[in-house]
Amino acid sequence: MSNLLSCRDLSKAFGAQTLFSSVDVVLAKGDRVGLIGPNGSGKSTLLKILAGLIEADNGEIFRQRHVRVSYLAQSDVFDEEKSCADNLYAAVAALHIEEVEQYNRVHSLLSRAEFPDPDSPVGLLSGGWRKRLAICRALVVHPDVLVMDEPTNHLDIEGILWLEKLLKASLPESPDAYLMVSHDRRFLENTVSRIVELSAAYPEGTLQVNGNYSAFLEKRELFLEQQQEQEERLANKVRRENEWLSRGPKARATKAKSRKDAAYRLQDELSVVKQRNRVGTAVDISFDGTDRKTRQLLVAAGISKGFEGRSLFSDLDLTLSPGTRLGLLGRNGCGKSTLMQILAAAGSDDESSGLQPDSGTVTTADNLRIISFDQRREQLDQEQTLRRALAPDGDSVVYQDRSIHVASWAQRFLFRTDQLETPVSRLSGGEQARILIASLMRQPADILLLDEPTNDLDIPSLNVLEQSLNEFAGALVLVTHDRFMLDRICDQVLGFDGQGNASLFADYGQWLATLDGGGKAEEEKKQRKKKNATKAAAQKTVKKLSYMDQREYDQMEKKILEAESRQEELETEIQTPETAADPAKLAECCEELELVQQEIVDLYSRWEKLEALRNGD
C-alpha cells in the first residue's frame, strides 16, 4: 500500500533548543494516528511541518501526488462578522467545484455538527461551537489526510462524543487517514489505531505502537524497563573497564589499546542511555491539606442561580466533607463555573465578595480554607516574570513548613533556571497551568475547586496530578471534560441538563445516558420502553426472584421512603438553633445523617439489582 504522507529523518530546533531529530512518520490509507509527548517536545511543530506550513531544518517530506492535506490548528481564526455557513463557503471557494456541490458540502456538515443557526455570525459563538466549526472547515474540503492539533480543546463531553462519532463514521468528507495531537486519553483510546510518542527518551526520537492507547502504555512500560536494564548492564561493564583502566595498561600493546578505546565507547554509550532515561521527568505535584477532621466542611441548601431570566440551577443541595470527590458535568454555559464561583465565595472572609446565589444558603466550617483553580487563568499577571509568579514574596517559597529556593521550586515544575526572568506572557499554556498548580500547592486547603485544570497539561503531568488529587485528604470539586480523569478521581458527579436542573449521578456514563435534548427525549423514551415491557417482563422473569428476594423487593420502596423521611427530619433538626447551640447533639445528628444517607444509597443500589433480576438482565 502506497503512503499518502511520510517524513524521514526530520529535525527541528529553535535557537539552541533542539525539539526533535531523526523522526520518521508514515501515514497510509486507513491510518488513525495519535501523536503524544511531553510539553516542549515539538508535537505542534511536527504537525505544521507535515502540513507544509513551516520548514524542517533537516529531513525529507514525501507526499503522494494530488493528496490534499487539511490542518486543524489549536486556535480558531474566522471572519467574525460572517456567518458559520459563509466561513465554510470561503474554505471551498478555491476548490473550483459547482455551487450545488458547495452548498451540499457546507450544509450537510453544519447539519451533522448540529448547528442551531448556520446563519449566525461566528463572533457570537462560544468556544465549543467555534471548535465544531473549525472541524467542519477542515473537513469541508474532503481532505485525503487530516492533521489535527488538540481537536478536543474547548469541546464539552457531548462535543467530544460527537467528534468521536464523526471520526469513526464513513462519510463523503471522511479523510483516508488522520494524525492528531491529543492529551485526552479516553479520546485516544476510542479513535486511534496507532500511537506515536515524540520524546528524546527514545533512540529513534519516537516510540510507535500499533493499537489503542492501552496497548501503547503496555509496550511503553516494557520498553522503558528494558532501557533501564540496559543502563544497569552498561554501568556494570563500565565499572569493570574503569577498574582495568585504573591499573594503567600499557597503551603500546595493540590489544590493550583496542580495549581502551572500547572502554571509552562504553562510557559514551552509557552516558547517552542515562540521558534518555532521565528524559520525561514528571512534574512534582502534591497538594497540602489541613488535616481538618470536621465532618461537614460546606453545606449548600436550596441554592439557585440564574442570569437574564435563564435558570442555571435551582434548589440545589450539596454537602462537601473530607474525602468528597465530586465532578461537575454539563454543556458549556450550563452553570458549572458559576457554581464553582459561588462555592469559592463561601470561603472568603468578606461575605459580600464574590458571586452569591439568588436564593438558598451556603454555610461553612469555621476558618475554612478554599483554594480555587480558574480555567481563565485570570490570577496570572502576564507581565510578571516566572520568578515572581512562582515566588511572589522573594527568592524562596514556604511549602509544608520548609523554605525552598525559587530555582529548586521551579525545577519541581520542569522549568529551567534560565527561564526565571521570562515574562509569563511568553510561556506556553501548559507552562502557565503549571504556575497556577504551583501556587495552589503553597496554600494548605480544606477544599480544592479545580475548574478545567487539565487544559494544556501533557499526559505525564496529568498522571501525576491524578495521583496527587487521590492523595488529597480534603474535599475536591472538579470541572473537567477529561473522562479518564473523572473515572479515576470522582466517586460521584453532579450533572447539569442546561434547563435549570442539576442531579447527582454515580459516574459520567450514567449522566450521559440521560442526555438527549436536555434529557427529556431520553427520559420519555425510557418511560415508553418501561411501560411496553412491564407485562412481558413480569410474565417472563418474575419467577427468577426467590421467595426472600421477592419479599425484599416488595418492601424496598417503603424502606427507601422511611429512610428519606428520616434524612429530611435530621436535616431540619440540624438547622434548628437548639441543635446548633449543642455541639454534642449536633455531632450526633450529623453522624446519624451520614449513616442514613449511606443507607439510602445502599437501598437504591440493592433495588436496582433486584429490578435487574426481575427483568432478566
Query: What pLDDT shows up at residue 293?
Result: 67
* Half-sphere exposure (Cβ direction) of 357: Cα atoms closer than 13 Å: 22
564 with 434, same domain: the answer is no
What are 38's three cell numbers? 511531553
| pLDDT, position 535 | 36
C-alpha to C-alpha distance for 13 and 494, rounded to whole angstroms: 46
**C-alpha cell recorded at residue 504:** 447527582
CB-CB contact of 590 with 296 (8 Å): yes
Could you count the other beta carbons within 10 Å of the beta carbon of residue 300? Answer: 20
Domain identity same for 69 and 95: yes
| Pair (164, 16) in one structural domain | yes
DSSP structural state of residue 174? -
Q: End of a domain among 465, 494, 525?
A: 525
Q: Please tell me which of 241-245, 355-359, 518-522 the model is most confident about, judged by mean pLDDT.
A: 355-359
Same structural domain for residues 265 and 358? Answer: no
Q: Among candidates 237, 295, 301, which has minimal Cα distance to 264?
A: 237
The total number of structural domains that make up the chain: 4
508 shares a domain with 610: no
User: Bigger pLDDT: 222 or 40?
Assistant: 222
For residues 310 and 312, what is the distance between their CA atoms, to the nearest angstrom?
6
450 and 407, same structural domain?
A: yes
Query: Are 417 and 355 within one domain?
Result: yes
Residue 442: inside a domain: yes
Q: What is the pLDDT of residues 304-334, one digit of tens each?
A: 999 888 899 999 999 999 989 999 998 877 8
Answer with the residue of higher pLDDT: 36 or 467: 36
Conformation bin of residue 306: beta by default, left when phi > 0, alpha when psi is -120 to 50: beta
Q: Which amino acid appears at position 288 of this protein?
A: D
416 and 308 housed in the same domain: yes
| β-bridge partners, 380 | none
Give the mean model confidence (pLDDT) for residues 334-362.
83
Same-domain pairing of 375 and 521: yes
Tell me, what's the pLDDT at 100? 93
3-state secondary structure 24-63: EEEEECCCEEEEECCCCCCHHHHHHHHCCCCCCCEEEEEE
Question: Mean per-residue pLDDT for 253-278?
Answer: 68
Average pLDDT on 140-153 reads: 95
- The dihedral region occupied by 130, where left means phi > 0, alpha psi between -120 and 50, and beta the remainder, is alpha
Taking only the tens place, the pLDDT of each residue in 154-183 is 888 889 999 999 999 888 889 999 999 999
Give me the pLDDT at residue 107, please.
94
Confidence of residue 150 (pLDDT cuts 50, 70, 90): very high
CA angle 611, 614, 615 (to 5 degrees): 90
Pairing mode, if any, of strands 206-210 and 69-72?
unpaired
pLDDT at 166: 94
Q: Are residues 267 and 316 in the same domain?
A: no
Alpha helix stretches (DSSP H) within 366-419: 386-390, 406-412
pLDDT, greater one: 287 or 492:
492
| Alpha carbons 559 and 512: distance in angstroms, whole number | 29
pLDDT of residue 253: 55
> Are 499 and 568 in the same domain?
no
Least confident of 79-88, 191-200, 252-261, 304-313: 252-261
- Residue 56, domain extent: 3-211
**Residue 255 pLDDT > 60:** no
Predicted TM-score (pTM) of the model is 0.71
The last residue of one of the domains, among 187, 211, 235, is: 211
Mean pLDDT of the chain: 83
Residue 309 and residue 176 share a domain: no
Weakest-pLDDT range from 89-98, 434-443, 475-484: 434-443
- Residue 530 in any domain: the answer is no
CA torsion through residues 396, 398, 400, 402, sign = positive
